[in-house]
A and B are shown apart, each in its own frame.
Chain A
């Protein structure tokens, strides 16, 4: 079955630092990949998604992610983080033969002003 793993559990950065959060997926045919963000006390919101085409996907709030098939990765990036980016970030992939999403364990990002 498709799954994702996020190896960074907690990342702490200063404002204006560059961000890269890792996400690796297991192979399972057609790959659709998602990044969701959960701000403190709020629900999960879609940040960006990859279905096909250009492997570099642009999302909201300056985020982007690159699908690298050879590395089974879909890392999330932002060139310059802001304090308001403090949140938990989840990578997700549809489960093979199912209709639900499998979510990674999440990476908590803390941005220090």
Chain B
């Protein structure tokens, strides 16, 4: 298995632009998670899906952030409009059954200037 695949690896954009981050989970995994990692706040859960359905989005910082999972093999995290404080590394992770470990993608390093 190729693991969790995220794209792009790096994204540099200007403030106000729309940013879309993509994730392909491991085939057969029912759960998909979006995390954000910053120096100040560490690793924060933004949202997670079970069987393509958003279960908990309480970690999404504000309405500028949205996430979708149209099918079992694809999810997006969108920021519109982006702001410099959104600069971080965004990780997607997936797992199978409850209690099994998370498998993380390589992350997308987002820089908003």
Contacts and interface: CB of A to CB of B under 8 A. Distances in A.
Q: Do A and B come from one complex?
A: yes
A44 interface: yes
Contacts of A49: 101
Contacts of A45: 104
Given A98-B56, A99-B55, A46 B42 contact: no
B101 A34 contact: yes
Interface stretch (A18-26, A62-70, A74-82, A100-108): A100-108
A47 to B, nearest CB: 10
Contacts, number: 42
Interface residues of A, number: 21
B106 A90 contact: no
A23 to B, nearest CB: 14
A14 interface: no
Interface in B45-87: 45, 48, 50, 55-56
Contacts of A99: 31, 48, 50, 55, 98
B42 A106 contact: yes
Contacts of A105: 42
Contacts of A36: 102
Interface string A34-48: 101000001111100
Top 3 A-B pairs, shortest CB-CB distance: A43-B104, A46-B101, A103-B43
